[in-house]
Each structure stands twice: as structure tokens, then as C-alpha cells.
Amino acid sequence: MNKLTDSQVQSFEENGYLLIENALTPDDLNPLISEFEEIVDEGASQLFKDGLIDSEFKTEGFDTRLTKITEQSPTVFQQVFSGAHTGPALFHLLINSKLLDIAESLVGPEIMCHPAYRVRPKLPEHDRTLVPWHQDAGYMEPKCDSVLQLTIWIPLIDATVHNGCLEVLPHAHRDGVFHHRHSEKFYLEIPDDALPDVEPVVVPVKFGSILLLTNLTPHRSIPNVSNQVRWSVDSRYQDAAKPTGYQPEAGFLARSKLQPNDVVKTPEDFKRIRDEHKPGPGPNRWGKNE
């Protein structure tokens, strides 16, 4: 078991975030990178065949190819962005024992993989992937405000100040849910006049390291001013006995001593569960569907 130390738990509870260096290895992450590379390759091939892009951009790398394609067609980007992807490598990362051990340190041994996992290929100078100040709790039902819904943020390349790493407001998770409004660019946001008077902390995260956040921690992604795609995954975990507060998407039981037969063990079952509850508009506390 790779549980957090007492000092790490204390730091997380005090600050609302925790950076863990070298939590994962290339063997943990490379299968998912390969899965995304295959999707991008197949998508580019089809778009080129259909005459929708003028090149397959085969000489571009994992951190640049999607940008070139998306400049001419959004199709491939839309295949992987948000909660639409249900590939086996993603499933195996979500249930990686290293991540579940860390989650167990904070949410207990009965672990639900929260429905709102997300894949985030953050493109350079791209409005759709510029996420403003918010709390994840802002997207959930109010009954979940007291439930720890742990985000484990996992970059698939080094996340830097140039390609759009995260910025957090430490300690502010102690003050509950701040007012959010619907921004003009796809997301909920905390207006400037509702933000707490806290000095932001920019948190670069190297490949293999992970960032833990509470659902009450205000955070945002800073602009990507590089030529790279900053690929990352948001995995989320909580006590399986408590409500997820997020509809219509479905989570799944990832670890359990009380109900071991209900734990989802195969990529096929994961895909079936997600396909039965497609990502889409759901209610939120701010009076409008997202």
C-alpha cells in the first residue's frame, strides 16, 4: 500500500492541495498516451481521407499533433475532450492501485470513482480549454458540499507555467462554496469580486507527479502560451456510500471490502456503464444546465 503519510494528509487538509512527486511511472502512463496517439492517428487519417484537413501531420509528436489537426477540424479534439473517452488504458489508470491507495488515505476504503473524470488536452491559445477560477463543488449538488470528492490531477507531459499548469488558492477550501456564475466561455467561474483575498499559487507538475485537490479548492488553468498540447487527466474519488451529486453521468465502484463483487474490474464493464449514461447537460445550483 502506498498510502499518504500523516504529514502529507495534514498538509492536504490545511492547504487544500498536495503535490506528490514521482507518484506514477512511465509504465503507468504510457499505455494511455499510446491510446490517445492511436485515436489521434486514426482521426487524422479519416479527416484527411474525407478532405477535411490538408495533412495528417504524421511528423508531429504527441504534444503538438492535435493542435495542427484542430486548427482545421475539431473532430478529433472532441473525441477525447471531457468525459467522452472510455478506452481500456484510461480505465486501468483510473483504477491504478497507486492512485486508489492515495485516495483511500483520504476518503476511506470504500472508493467510488466519481462520474466527472475528465480528459484535458489543453491546446495553445484555445478558449475551450482555458478554465477560469472555480471549485469542482460548484458543479455538484449542494448536498455534496460536505463530501470530500478528491481530484487527482495527472499530467501526461510536464505541466509548466508556459503550457498551462494549474493555479490554486490555498486554505480557501475552508470557506465553503463561493458564488459561481456562467461564464461566456463554456464554464462556471467565480467572479473576481467573490474570490477570497488569498495569494494564488502556481503549481507546475512534472510527468509522473500528481496534484491532489479538494472539491472546495478554488483553482484554474493558466493560459497555454507554448506550442504544446498539455495533456492531462482529472480522476476523482470519494466515499462510495455518499452521493456523487452529478447527473446524468455514472461513476463506478473502484475498491470495496464490503461489496467486492460490485467492483468494476474490466474495461468492457467500464465502457458499458459510461455508454449507458452519456456525458451531457445536467442541473446545477446556479439555475442553468451545463
Range of the domain at 187: 12-28+86-276
Q: Has residue 216 got a pLDDT over 60? A: yes
End-to-end CA distance of the chain: 38
* Structural domain includes residue 20: yes
Q: What is the pLDDT of residues 90-121, one digit of tens each?
A: 999 999 999 999 999 999 999 999 999 999 99
Q: Give the pLDDT score at 95.
A: 98
User: What is the residue type of 32?
Assistant: L
- pLDDT digits 0-9 by tens, 27-44: 999 999 999 999 999 999
pLDDT for 289 equals: 44
DSSP the chain: --PPPHHHHHHHHHHSEEEETT-S-HHHHHHHHHHHHHHHHHHHHHHHHTTSSS---TTS-TTTHHHHHHTT-SHHHHHHSBT----HHHHHHHT-HHHHHHHHHHH-SSEEE-S--EEEEE-TT-GGG---SB-GGGGS-GGGTTS--EEEEEESS-B-TTTT-EEE-TTGGGG-PPP-EE-SSSSEE--GGGS-S---EEE-B-TT-EEEE-TT--EEEPP--SSS-EEEEEEEEEETTS-----S---EEEE-SS-GGGS--SHHHHHHHHHHS-------TTSS--
**283 assigned to some structural domain:** no
Domains: count for the chain: 1
- Whether 279 shows a pLDDT value over 70: the answer reads no
CATH number of the domain enclosing 258: 2.60.120.620
Amino acid letter, residue 71: E
pTM above 0.85, yes or no: yes
Evaluate whether residue 66 is within a structural domain. Answer: no
Classify residue 243: in a domain, yes or no. yes
pLDDT, mean of residues 132-159: 95
**pLDDT bucket at 84, cuts 50 / 70 / 90:** confident
Residue 145 lies in a domain: yes
Question: Cα(151)–Cα(250) distance, rounded to whole angstroms?
Answer: 16
Nearest to 114 by CA among 98, 133, 101, 100: 100
Does 158 reside within a domain?
yes
Q: Tell me phi and psi for residue 36, to 5 degrees.
A: -70, -40
Q: What is the pLDDT of residue 290?
A: 43
**125 domain residue, yes or no:** yes
Residue 144 forms part of a structural domain: yes
Residue type, 232: S
